[in-house]
Amino acid sequence: MDNPLLAPSTLPFGAPRFDAIRLEHYLPAFRAAIAAGKAEVDAIAADPAQPDFANTVEALEFAGADLERVSGIFFNLLEAESDDAMQQVAEEVSPLLTEYEMYVSLNERLFARVKAVYDRRDALELAPDQRKLLEESYKDFVRSGALLSPEDKKTYAALEEELSLLELRYGKNVLDATNAFTLHLTDEAELEGLPQYVRDLGAQAAREKGLEGWLYDLTHPSYVPFLQYSARADLRERLWRAYNSRALGGPSDNRAVCVRIAGLRRRIAQLLGYATWADYVLEERMAKDIPTVRALLDHLMEPSLPAARREVAELLAYARERGYAQGQMQPWDFAYWSERYRAEHFALSEEQLKPYFRLECCIDAVFGLATRLYGIRFVPREDLPVYHPDVRVYDVQDADGRHLALFYADFFPRPGKRGGAWMTNFRELSAPGGVEQRPFVSIVTNFSKPGPDAPSLLTHDELTTFLHEFGHALHGMLAEGRYPSLTGTNVARDFVELPSQLMENWGFEPEYLRPFARHWQSGEPIPVELVERLVAARNYHAAYFQVRQLRFGLLDLAWHTLREDDGRPAEALEAAALQDCAVLPDIPGTCISTAFGHIFSGGYSAGYYSYKWAEVLEADAFARFREEGIFNPATAASFREAILSKGGSEDEAVLYRRFRGRDPEPDALLKKLEIK
């Protein structure tokens, strides 16, 4: 019990002992936790008492708690604080976990007990969350092969093991390919067009590598502003091509991995009786089936595609008037000319906005919004250990002082942290034996680090990213319930983005922005006219960005609605899926799929459409806030009660109707984006 991953934590709230955890602790902890989980499962399966909800379904829900704790720490750090040694542990652990999952899901005695309770469900006096847990538990067994023949169960287990390893390999390849490229500049003339903060970022990155000059890479805070501002089309092209050819060839090639992952998923789905992987996945989503998803994408694409093409044509004409000689707008030029057009027509640029969004002020403002809406507050806990010096931890308290969660925030990029931003949990809300264990919630981002002469300053886009991930965090922190699989963000994938995307709206509300957005040097509040221009520019190129997201959704469906292997390589499948909805020219030697981690290693397979599905929900939901007041405590209380606190304890469509009084209206999104 000297392993800090296994020994009960003596820290306040049972916080993880990050200060004591070492690499060598993980494998022994996984092995011990798996053995303990199997023993708990065996005890449930062998119980001589008649199966009932408590001794079977509820007992199974809380079995494997040690494994949940170890996995919650390891796999989150694998994303945020990884290295080759951690990746090696992941590769060793993956088959162990798959074998454990098969041990549970293909356990015939255990399934027989669950089925016995399920068959008597109408005669049992179960609370709504208990009924949902019973139904989900039975369905999980069936969807994991419990009704397969013994031979097919072996095949299923082998396919799942290979799939889990390939998904890990895919993610590692993307990370390796991302880290493998840098743009090292030594001539100041090559910095033409770059604002000072982007130059400072490049200089700091070079210093950290012991280099002279400026260094740019493929992480978001480096890649995006370089493409926006660099006046050097040749350098923009080099960076764009490197980003859009990640894991396409070379030592980290993901082309065959994509095809194999999609093939394994298809074989698993068909073994379980579904025509495609998408059919299998969507059964558990709000959308329910492929035609419904396609109908949504088509409904949004029909007005958005011509509007996006008009936006690009207008931008091309603008660029040509200023000497742009290309016959078409090239993809590495779009962000540059788009930023110039925005700066001229709206008198607005990220460079103008950035000095007003100091990270520390944004933290206070985001926390303050949660306080204003939901009454909660955030108390720093510097006494609790963290896994990296950049990480901050807070005790989240309700208005009455009740402890709700520990909240960990990890803001800055570093080697070993994957790109992007995400929310996760180190521990889910749970109540084993009726004793509540509040969650440990985390958000991870890649915001620009403080430099020697300036603090961390966010772009407005990064502020909305912060609000987005914090919306997920609220879903976790404000959770109520007793069963971890039904609380917090454990909801249908096309529902989970509702709280996060809803929060982004406040990032465009003058009443919210003006009190905290102050110049980091002078302390002057952000000018009223600058906020007005920000709001006016909100839907600038909205159709273009909508089509971009819809294309990702179509590509996802193309991979996961295949009924058989047609022999096409990744590039050919992608080209066919996207040929009718291009707004910029396709460039040979590039590929989205090889670095599309959301669908190949990130849990969004056959589910990328859910971002747009949730945008419809949030546009419709925020309309109520607009009608009743964006800080209206009664509206916020209704959203907390109907959505944030409920998790997946009830059908998501029912929860939404409880908040809105009706089903969502898809045109709410087109109206919000002003796409006609």
Which residues carry out catalysis? Answer: 469
Q: CB-hemisphere CA count at 13 Å for 462?
A: 29
The token duo for 68 is: 């949940």
The token duo for 81 is: 């604080």
DSSP annotation of 195 reads: -
| Cα–Cα nearest to 492, from 313, 654, 329 | 654
Amino acid in the structure at residue 20:
A
Q: CB-hemisphere CA count at 13 Å for 608?
A: 23
The token duo for 425 is: 């949990």
Sign, CA torsion 22/27/29/30 = positive
Query: C-alpha angle with apex 668: 665 to 669, nearest 5 degrees?
Result: 120
The token duo for 505 is: 């709206």
CA distance 327 to 80: 42
Other beta carbons within 10 Å of 290: 18
| Cα–Cα nearest to 37, from 103, 91, 98 | 103
Which contacts qualify for 6-15: CB closer than 8 Å, 24 or more apart? 6/32, 6/33, 6/66, 6/70, 11/384, 11/385, 12/381, 12/383, 12/384, 12/395, 13/395, 13/403, 13/406, 13/438, 13/440, 14/427, 14/437, 15/384, 15/385, 15/393, 15/406, 15/440
Cα Rg, the chain, nearest whole Å: 25
What spatial distance separates the first Cα and last Cα of the chain, rounded to whole Å? 63
Other beta carbons within 10 Å of 422: 16
CA distance 406 to 385: 12
Whole-number Cα distances in Å, 9 to 17, 19, 66, 72, 182: 7, 12, 12, 15, 42
Q: At 16, phi and psi to the nearest 5? A: -60, 145
Q: At 425, phi and psi to the nearest 5? A: -125, 135
